[in-house]
Chain A
Amino acid sequence: MILTVVGTLLMVIEPLGGPRWSRLYGHIALLGLAGALVAAVSAYSTPGPAFSGMLIADGFGAFFRVLVIGVGILTVLASYRYLGREGVDTAEYHALILFSITGQCIMVTANELIMIFIGLEISSIASYVLAGYLRDDKRANEAALKYFLLGSFATAFLLYGIAWIYGLTGSTNLSAIRTALLSRDSTASPILVAVSAALMLVGLGFKVSGAPFQIWAPDVYQGAPAPVSAFLSAGPKAAAFAVFLRVFMTAFAPIGPGWEPLVWLSALLSMTIGNFAALTQSNIKRLLAYSSIAHAGYVLVAVAARSETGTAAAMFYLAAYALMNIGAFAVIVHLSGKGERFVGVDDFAGLATRQPFTAALLTVFLLSLIGVPLTGGFFGKFYIFKAALESHLVWLTVLGLLNSAVAAYYYLRILVVMYMHEPSEAASEAEPLGAGMKAALVLPALGTFVLGIFPSALLTFASKSAVLVR
């Protein structure tokens, strides 16, 4: 709620303020997000259904709300300098981010397919605009258009699936669908239920960029402005996974054995395609896009486990992933220079000599993405594959972990150029870290270590709330 108000407020005051106030918009957005954070936490203290059962304030929802709002805060922090550099520091940008997060907050707490759909639309439409935010940039326009076309297509699939399941069970409430599917005298034909589940799988598979619906991701992440790519790869993805888990673990749990092989296959394809395609990328945004496909694959492994530990593992992983990925993208934002000239892997050359602190932080994020112990990424992977082994997905575990060894190669490549090559133009030109950027880098790095050394607090919370999703 707060988000919408602040977002609208921002839209209104923009014409009044003029360019002198450009920083202020960011501050206001931050305030709004902080307010929303407080509201999200306090909503958790009074759990229960809200808005006549359309939304549900449970631990699972609160977890993802805090996550997406946190992603929003980091994105805003990382955007200050960037927007100034590109000369687009308007209030619109922040308003769009706030709207998108509002949509995601609705998605993650929705207990109702229609609410899910509404949240998804709010979030997606804002994201489409954000992706094309640099109006004069050809790539950004291409990205926005692609994102929009494919995105609407996927949403249509989802909507079709919703309509179908409504026709079959007479309800759009997730728990009601579950009950209807479980009841003996259900008249719904299993084939039609399967079709509707498959339709929704396609729609959501697109949103989480799981293979074979991942085609859009590299182009969009590469074309969109760097802070927006950071946002897209963490926020909407986490929210989409939340929906994924809720829909499939709650509503479609009764037909679990049916969809498990599909998710299994999608997980394996995502990991393999993501990692192998990333091996040959020279544009760092594109590289991280493929890596994010691969990471979606890891989370899908947790979904395929179809257990509470799996859900908890997915939640933990998404939190760890959001931190490390936003951090890595923030470094790109910092280095890219005006007009995003420096987004090649080679532009990171010699960063360690010029800005050892930035390089060290990026090292933390990359090691976490590789999955080296004492970072959040490691525990995330560990919990996921532990859950998968508990559910006897031995082959998926072995292939997944081998995949993560492949992934090490392209992350190492960035470390190599950063530490072992002579400084490039980009590294020499990079300005010192601004306050906002510093916060956007140090906070996720600290978070990555906290998750890597003391993961139990978050995991306990995740396990507790995972029980609620059923």
Chain B
Amino acid sequence: MTLLNLVLALPALGFLALLFVPRDKPQVIRALAIAVALIAFIASIGLATGLRSDVPGMQFATDVIWIPSPEIHFHIGIDGVSLWLVILSAFLTPICILISWRFIDKRVKEFYAFLLLLEFGLIGVFISLDLFLFYVFWEVSLVPMYFLIGIWGHERRIYAAVKFFLFTMSGSVLMLVGIIYLYNRAGTFDYLAILNQMAGGKLSFTPGQELLLFLAFFIAFAIKVPLFPLHTWLPDAHVEAPSAGSVMLASVMLKMGTYGLLRYCVPMFPEAARRCAPWIIVLAIIGIIYGALVAMVQPNMKKLVAYSSVSHLGFVVLGIFSFTQLGFDGAVYQMLNHGISTGALFVLVGYLYERRHSLAIADFGGVATPAPWLSTVFMITMLASIGLPTLNNFVGEYLVLQGAAQANFRWAVFAAIGVILSACYMLWLYQRVFYGDTPEPVAEHVYDLNRREWAAVLPLVAMMVWMGVYTPSFLPPITRANTAILDQSRMNVRFRVALPPAPYLTAREVPRAR
């Protein structure tokens, strides 16, 4: 049993264990949930320290047959890209449990059970190396999130939950068609084996087929990202979800989409991806600017953060479809940054909601007077989100812009407008909520951070600074993995047979095609 299996199994075991705890013991349930989540997180750090830089390809791999016919493997493994996303999931789950400690007081057992099940699904998505297994985890993560929004959300929760489910589902059934089609052609669901066949020239598509396959995967991922104009489920889901749901949704779940683009669309369908890239980039840039503009006029704090996510995720897509090393690195780094800083924003907005029981910006003002520490932490998070140098987002945005500029300078110019706009809406939000006169209800209800709240938010702030000032802790494995993906993608386009297989592929022999 490798460490990776342990990281995957812990949340699932925690989920099962929770089902057997009597429901009238909420303290036991909370304690168990956070214990499991913390152990999983510690174990996931072991992955980072154990990932070797001198070994190419997937590490911590497990490959056993799950279903013999059609052959479906339980094949998992990580490289530098999935590593950090796994850690991000494991890092945020205990934080989500902490921020829900008091806030969730009905059906406590189900809440934490679903949260752990969600963690299981998310980690599974990032480590699957079998397309079928990937699809299974992809769908499995959908169910707990649906319940988290639908049961513990705000007023319009049911609408939001159903919309969320249906949007994702309609995208993913198309992906399923694509997966089955690939299987019928390649005779395997194994991701590395399929790449190998493509590299060896055994498996090739006509441009039309490749385009359709690319779109089948791309639409599923684009809905999840969400890419303009498929983003409409996101504001609803974010606003209605409970804080923990919003955090997991924004910080990890959206990354399923961008991860999918990077891991599957780019190397498997390189020509179609390149052909579509200009269109996708246009959509991404529209998303960046549109998201920022809409965020600016939102009267609701959560909605504002939700639209800012649309804008930030546009950067990630831009980075990926620039097809440059810097763009890829920036995209992955930006995925993590967005996870940390937007997660923190949702945590803080959640704190404000717990105090004032409102999300409307107009109901706040002068919060800095009764709650100076809360304001300070919010300030740091906001600056990180804007992209202030020395904080994390700056690094990611810079790399993406640099990469985009290498590909086409105009893209970078338009995208940079988004950075400026993000400063506008964020600073304006901060001004309206934290400065000015303190109205009576705010002075009465808003208090400063307590110890539990500190415990949840301090690690996030620490990460913002760490990722902002010392990138060598994080970037090298990402770069290595991205180089492999980029090589793979390039090789499949131009020198289909001429080059030896990328180091990425040496981990596995080519299985016989059926």
Q: List the interface of chain A (C-beta within 8 A of B).
A: 353, 356, 367, 370, 372-374, 378, 382, 385-386, 389-390, 394, 397-398, 401-402, 404-405, 408-409, 412-413, 415-416, 419-420, 454-456, 459-460, 463
Whether the pair A382, B180 counts as a contact (CB closer than 8 A) is: yes
Which of A372, A412, A413 contacts B139 (CB under 8 A)? Answer: A372
Show 15 A/B contacts (Cβ-Cβ < 8 Å), sorted by A.
A353-B107, A385-B177, A386-B70, A386-B184, A389-B184, A394-B177, A401-B174, A408-B165, A408-B166, A412-B165, A416-B150, A420-B150, A420-B151, A456-B67, A456-B69
Q: What chain A residues lie within 8 Å of B135 (beta carbons)? A: 373
Q: List CB contacts (< 8 Å) of B54-85 with chain A.
A: 67-70
Q: What chain A residues lie within 8 Å of B107 (beta carbons)? A: 353
* B431 is an interface residue with CB less than 8 A from chain A: no
Stretch at the interface among B156-164, B253-261, B328-336, B436-444: B156-164
CA distance A360 to B165 in the complex (A): 19
Minimum CB–CB distance for A400 against chain B, Å: 9
Which of B136, B137, B150, B166 contacts A419 (CB under 8 A)? Answer: B150
Minimum CB–CB distance for A376 against chain B, Å: 13
Q: What chain B residues lie within 8 Å of A413 (beta carbons)? A: 162
CA distance A412 to B162 in the complex (A): 7
CB nearest to B71 among chain A residues: A456
Whether the pair A416, B158 counts as a contact (CB closer than 8 A) is: yes
CA distance A45 to B70 in the complex (A): 27
CB nearest to B149 among chain A residues: A420
Minimum CB–CB distance for B395 against chain A, Å: 37
Q: List the interface of chain B (C-beta within 8 A of A).
A: 23, 67-70, 107, 135-137, 139-140, 142-143, 146-147, 150-151, 157-158, 161-162, 165-166, 169-170, 173-174, 176-177, 180-181, 183-184
CB nearest to B121 among chain A residues: A373
Whether the pair A419, B177 counts as a contact (CB closer than 8 A) is: no
CA distance A370 to B165 in the complex (A): 11
Whether the pair A374, B136 counts as a contact (CB closer than 8 A) is: yes
Whether the pair A401, B151 counts as a contact (CB closer than 8 A) is: no
Q: What chain B residues lie within 8 Å of A408 (beta carbons)? A: 165-166, 169
CA distance A401 to B169 in the complex (A): 10
Minimum CB–CB distance for B224 against chain A, Å: 15
Q: What chain B residues lie within 8 Å of A455 (beta carbons)? A: 67
Whether the pair B170, A402 counts as a contact (CB closer than 8 A) is: yes
CA distance A408 to B162 in the complex (A): 9
Interface of A is mostly: helix
Besides A409-B166, A419-B150, 19 other A-B contacts (C-beta < 8 A): A353-B107, A372-B142, A372-B143, A373-B137, A378-B139, A385-B177, A386-B180, A386-B183, A397-B180, A401-B173, A402-B173, A402-B174, A412-B162, A412-B165, A419-B147, A419-B151, A420-B158, A455-B67, A456-B67
Q: What chain A residues lie within 8 Å of B181 (beta carbons)? A: 389, 394
Whether the pair B176, A401 counts as a contact (CB closer than 8 A) is: yes
CB nearest to B176 among chain A residues: A401
CA distance A181 to B170 in the complex (A): 43
Whether the pair B158, A389 counts as a contact (CB closer than 8 A) is: no
CA distance A409 to B180 in the complex (A): 24
Whether the pair B69, A463 counts as a contact (CB closer than 8 A) is: yes
Q: What chain A residues lie within 8 Å of B136 (beta carbons)? A: 373-374
Q: What chain B residues lie within 8 Å of A389 (beta carbons)? A: 177, 180-181, 184
CA distance A454 to B67 in the complex (A): 7
CB nearest to A405 among chain B residues: B170
CA distance A397 to B180 in the complex (A): 10
Q: What chain A residues lie within 8 Å of B68 (beta carbons)? A: 456, 460
CA distance A427 to B146 in the complex (A): 22
Q: What chain A residues lie within 8 Å of B166 (beta carbons)? A: 405, 408-409, 412
Q: What chain A residues lie within 8 Å of B170 (beta carbons)? A: 402, 405
| Given known contacts A419-B151, A463-B69, A409 and B162 CB-to-CB distance under 8 angstroms | yes
CA distance A206 to B107 in the complex (A): 46
Minimum CB–CB distance for A366 against chain B, Å: 11
Minimum CB–CB distance for A163 against chain B, Å: 41
CA distance A454 to B140 in the complex (A): 16
Q: What chain A residues lie within 8 Å of B150 (beta carbons)? A: 415-416, 419-420
Q: What chain A residues lie within 8 Å of B174 (beta carbons)? A: 398, 401-402
CA distance A385 to B174 in the complex (A): 12
Q: Which 4 residue pairs across A and B have the least CB separation, nearest first?
A: A401-B173, A373-B136, A405-B170, A373-B139
CA distance A408 to B68 in the complex (A): 29
Minimum CB–CB distance for A201 against chain B, Å: 28
Minimum CB–CB distance for A367 against chain B, Å: 7
Which of A373, A397, A412 contacts B177 (CB under 8 A)? Answer: A397
Whether the pair A401, B177 counts as a contact (CB closer than 8 A) is: yes
CB nearest to A389 among chain B residues: B180
CA distance A196 to B456 in the complex (A): 73
CA distance A255 to B70 in the complex (A): 29
Whether the pair A385, B162 counts as a contact (CB closer than 8 A) is: no
Whether the pair B69, A372 counts as a contact (CB closer than 8 A) is: no
CA distance A455 to B71 in the complex (A): 12
Most interface-central of A454, A456, A463 (chain B CB within 10 A):
A456
Q: What chain B residues lie within 8 Å of A353 (beta carbons)? A: 107
Q: What chain A residues lie within 8 Å of B23 (beta carbons)? A: 356
Whether the pair A372, B184 counts as a contact (CB closer than 8 A) is: no
Q: What chain A residues lie within 8 Å of B147 (beta carbons)? A: 419
Q: What chain A residues lie within 8 Å of B183 (beta carbons)? A: 386
Whether the pair B161, A416 counts as a contact (CB closer than 8 A) is: yes
Minimum CB–CB distance for A158 against chain B, Å: 34
Minimum CB–CB distance for B12 against chain A, Å: 11
Minimum CB–CB distance for A260 against chain B, Å: 19
CA distance A386 to B183 in the complex (A): 9
CA distance A34 to B203 in the complex (A): 51
Whether the pair A374, B184 counts as a contact (CB closer than 8 A) is: no
